[in-house]
Chain A
Amino acid sequence: MSQKIVLSHKTGFFSEDDDNLFKAVFDRIQTGIIIIDPDTHSIVDANPIAEEILGSSKSEMINRMCHEYICPAKEGTCPVTDNNTAIANEERIFINKKGEKVAVQKTVAKVKINGKEYLVESFVDISDRKKADDRKVALIGFMNESVLRIRRPLELTKMNMQLIADQVKSGEYESEEIRMELQIQANNISQMIKNLDDLVRMVAEERGEEIPKEFREFLLGK
C-alpha cells in the first residue's frame, strides 16, 4: 500500500483518474475533510462533504486561505500553527457560501504526507443536533414558565381559598369583603387559564411544521 500521493494545484491531492483506497475513503466518507498547507494556510484539497457543508466547490476553495472558509482567526493567529492549540471534537460555526451559519464539530490533526506536514481538518454538520438542543431548551423554558405562572399561583390560590373559608367561618368578615376575595381568586384562575392557552399557542406557533397540521390548528384554536 505504498502509493505515491501527488498534489495537484488544480485538483487537490488526487486526480480524477486516481484509483486508490485513500481517494475512495476521502470521496465517500460522511465527514467533511479539508487539507491545509500550514506554511501558507491555503486549502490544498476538500472532499465532497466539505463542499456540501460549505456550499463551495473544491475548485473555488483550492489555493484560498483557510480563514476565508473555515476559521474565524485572523492571519498570524492560527490556533493550531501560531498558538499551538489542539482542536479535537470542538463545536464551531462555519459560514457557508450563502452566508448562513452551520454548526459543526471539528478536529484538526497534523499529518505528514510525502515528507511534508499538512493539517487535516475534519468536521461533521451538527446543525440538526443543535436545533434539537434549542428545542429542548425552549421546551424546558415553556415548562418553567408554566410552573411559574400557573402551578405556583395555583398553590397560592388554594391557600387563599382556605383563608377565605376560615374568614367565612369566623363570621368577622362582611359578605362584600368575602365576595371581593372570591372574585379576585376567580379572576386569577381565569388569567391562569389564559396564560396556559397563550403558552400552548406560542409553542404551537414556534414548533410550526413539526406538529401535525390538525393538532396545530386545534392548539391555535382555529
Chain B
Amino acid sequence: MLAPPEDIHGMNIAVVKKILGQGCTPLIITVNQPFKVLTKIYTKEGIDSSKFYVIDTVTQYSGGVCEENPRVHYINNPSNLTDLGIAISEVLKQMPDKKKCIMFDSVSMLLIHIPSATASKFFHFVVNKLKLSDVSGIFLCVEKGLDPVILSQMSSFVDKIVDFEPEIIAKP
C-alpha cells in the first residue's frame, strides 16, 4: 500500500483496524517505532494490545530495554534480514491458527538500512513464505518510494499495489 509521507502513520492505524475488523490477527513488523510506543499509539486509537503480535526491529537499535512479552519478538537491527526472516516464521507458528496477516511498516524505512535490490529479494522471499503458509501480507510504503523497476518486480509477486485512500479504508 502506498501513501504520501504525511499519511503513512494514519495508514498504519487504519490498516491494523481493517485487519482486525476482518477477523484476522495482525503481525506488525515495525522498522520505525518501538513496541512500547506503538502499543501506546494503538491503545489511544482503541486497538486492544492483546489482539496483535509485533516483531520489533528498533528497540534494541535505539538502546532501549526489551521488555519480555509473549506477543513481541525483538531483532537487534532493521538490517538484520536473516533474523527477521527467522522471526517471521517463528511468530507465525506461535500465532493462533485462525486467519493471520502481516503488516510491514515500512518498506521505505527499511531502505535506509539495505539497498533497494536486496530489499526486493527479501520481500520476494517473505511473500513466498506467506503464500506457502496461506497468510496475507500488507507492505506499507511511501508513494514514489520505490524504484519503478523494483515496483514492477514486486508487482509480479504481490497480488495488488494499492494507493491508500483514508476515506475508503475507513468504511466498514
Q: Which A residues fall within an 8 A CB radius of B?
A: 144-145, 148-149, 152-153, 155-156, 158-160, 163, 167, 172-173, 176-177, 179-181, 183-184, 187-188, 191-192, 195
Contacts and interface: CB of A to CB of B under 8 A. Distances in A.
Contacts of A188: 109, 112
B102 to A, nearest CB: 20
Interface in B16-37: 32-34, 36-37
13 contacts: A152-B144, A158-B5, A163-B9, A172-B40, A177-B34, A177-B40, A179-B62, A180-B58, A181-B62, A184-B33, A184-B58, A188-B109, A195-B112
Given A163-B9, A180-B62, 15 more contacts: A144-B147, A148-B146, A149-B112, A149-B116, A152-B5, A156-B106, A159-B5, A159-B8, A160-B32, A176-B64, A180-B36, A183-B62, A184-B34, A184-B61, A191-B113
A167 B147 CA distance: 33
A173 B40 contact: yes
Interface of B: 5-6, 8-9, 32-34, 36-37, 40, 44, 58-59, 61-65, 106, 108-109, 111-113, 115-116, 142, 144-147
Contacts of A144: 147
Given A187-B61, A187-B62, A181 B33 contact: yes
Contacts of A177: 34, 36-37, 40
B145 A148 contact: yes
B63 to A, nearest CB: 6
Contacts of B8: 156, 159
A156 B33 CA distance: 12
Contacts of A180: 34, 36-37, 58-59, 62-64
B37 A152 contact: no
A195 B116 CA distance: 12
Given A180-B59, A187-B62, A148 B37 contact: no
Interface centre among A144, A148, A160, A181 (most CB of B within 10 A): A148
A163 B7 CA distance: 12
